[in-house]
Structure 1
């Protein structure tokens, strides 16, 4: 992934209500193997986050100046250093309004992936670890903690400029469990939430269920198509890419590559040609799971009606050909 520009600044702030301060770098980072490794690790950590939201820019204003500065950067009216400095000053100001906000290193990287240009912004923190030195001594080692990344956004610059009607060229990490801690970071970008990955993935899965249900496929064919669908959606989610419905349709049925795509269009499920995927929603669709009173049961959805049967009248499950390890445990118990 070629890196066009990168820089890092530091915001000093503790979650105690005290004013924040800013240390600004005066030159871009030089491209290096370490920087490339950082970008690769950052993208991997970002893509793995399940709690992302998608959206688009607020109209530029005094409250939301970020998109205007970014436009000036793209138009060549200011350089990358000036853009990042303005943005970091704005982020510092917004952080001061959040008692829970914690400072860190603000990393800006503009890079290309194929024909698409991106800007990723992340607030990074360090963690303490240990290492063994060349002299075989155990020593403390301080490094960036990408595993705890929770303040980051990625902007698809190409889609922003080429598709003015898009509502999902920005993605950002959203706070969990209703926490408002990350709202200031969303406001810093000036993002309006557009596409909802959970809702859109749920709609896609409902469309798939309707499609295979009406087609009345044989069990083996149904299983193959379900695995193909889930494999593609999972792969896109891992890479941080959106699900292209026309491409997915071809994956599901190579002989009739437009069949599922045309079905979605004709039934008008309200899905865009590309949607963000939610791995958790897909996982719940692919498995049945329940736990209560010391009993835990989990099985893949395609086994229902084949290896697993549910009797609603008796409120019971019948499991055919249970795992050999479980069978052996039960026999050993019975033989005592």
Structure 2
């Protein structure tokens, strides 16, 4: 990641008040080791679970709705911001308008970071909060200090500027709320101006269900189906690690290489059906992939989970009686069973 521009502004607003004050930094923050460390921490927190994705409702801006795309259209040209400080000040002033409409909301630090990764330009807009801490002076005396809270992100937005500027129809916006209450997530969504936001976890679960539905509709034997699901899972995980969207046509290509062109077309047909209506590309959430390669279930007294490839091998299922027969038990469980049976 190569940071091009970085600046922090502050919005002061107390809970229970409408009035907010913008304290704008006049020029950019230096891109030093501390800025790079903060950027790395934000990126790590941002890529955890709870992602939402979307695109601008008005990509080039308009008088109505969010003014963010219009500000980008005005200030971002040829992969560069002519005046990053001016752009972010305008953005912060627009953010303040949305914040003032919510009495319960509080202010914080607005962190803007324009960076380049693999010839692609991105913009972070992140709401950071201050917190109290204890500092230790040179004479080993203790004192109370203020620092940036980095255990969690409150609200954060990342825009793929390159995709947006090229008119890409994909979901070039990614954002998350952390544990922000609903009234905060709503004003932040209005500030972004995102068209039909989608939760990455929900979209990933739809892909998992789509893969299973395809295997069932085509009558693919259990062993082949499990192998295919494992390939899909690995492909999805690599995209998640690279922080890139997954294109549904890539999964169709996997179908074609393993089965046939006709079945690849069938996969896309199911994906586009009323039952799924999959987007052309989605952001993957790793935790939601588990059902692709594992079977699990629980009740108040029992929890059971195992790799799906074991079904038909060391685990046999009798559909008529609804029972499982499990061989090759884990040694630790086997010892416990032997101990209680003595």
TM-score with structure 2 length normalisation? 0.82
- Post-superposition offset of 1:178: 8.7
Count residues with an aligned counterpart. Answer: 333
Equivalent residues of 1:175, 1:181 under 8 A apart: no
Matches within 5 A, 1:225-240: 225-240=228-243
- Post-superposition offset of 1:48: 0.8
Identify which of 103, 119, 122 aligns with 1:118: 122
Matches within 5 A, 1:240-279: 240-248=243-251, 264-265=267-268, 269=272, 270-279=277-286
CA distance in 1 between counterparts of 2:230 and 2:137 reads 47
Specify whether residues 142 and 89 from structure 1 end up closer, same or farther in structure 2 by C-alpha distance, changes over 3 A only. Answer: same
CA distance in 2 between counterparts of 1:35 and 1:251 reads 41
More off after superposition, 88-97 vs 205-214: 205-214
CA distance in 2 between counterparts of 1:242 and 1:321 reads 39
| Residues 71-105 of structure 1, C-alpha deviations (whole Å, 9 max, x = no match) | 11114896111111111112112112113322111
Local SS of the residue matching 1:105: strand
| Residues 260-293 of structure 1, C-alpha deviations (whole Å, 9 max, x = no match) | 8555346563545432223343224443333333
Matches within 5 A, 1:92-131: 92-129=96-133
CA distance in 1 between counterparts of 2:260 and 2:285 reads 23
Match of 2:62 in 1: 60
- What RMSD over aligned residues (CA atoms) do the two structures have, in Å? 3.4
Identify which of 284, 288, 291 aligns with 1:281: 288
CA distance in 2 between counterparts of 1:33 and 1:224 reads 45
Please tell me whether residue 329 in structure 1 is matched to residue 336 in structure 2.
yes
Equivalent residues of 1:54, 1:169 under 8 A apart: yes
CA distance in 2 between counterparts of 1:177 and 1:304 reads 41
Equivalent residues of 2:230, 2:292 under 8 A apart: no
Matches within 5 A, 1:37-186: 37-58=37-58, 59-75=61-77, 79-129=83-133, 142-164=146-168, 166-174=169-177, 179-186=182-189
Specify whether residues 315 and 272 from structure 1 end up closer, same or farther in structure 2 by C-alpha distance, changes over 3 A only. Answer: closer
Specify whether residues 295 and 231 from structure 1 end up closer, same or farther in structure 2 by C-alpha distance, changes over 3 A only. Answer: same
- Post-superposition offset of 1:321: 1.8
CA distance in 2 between counterparts of 1:179 and 1:111 reads 30
TM-score with structure 1 length normalisation? 0.83
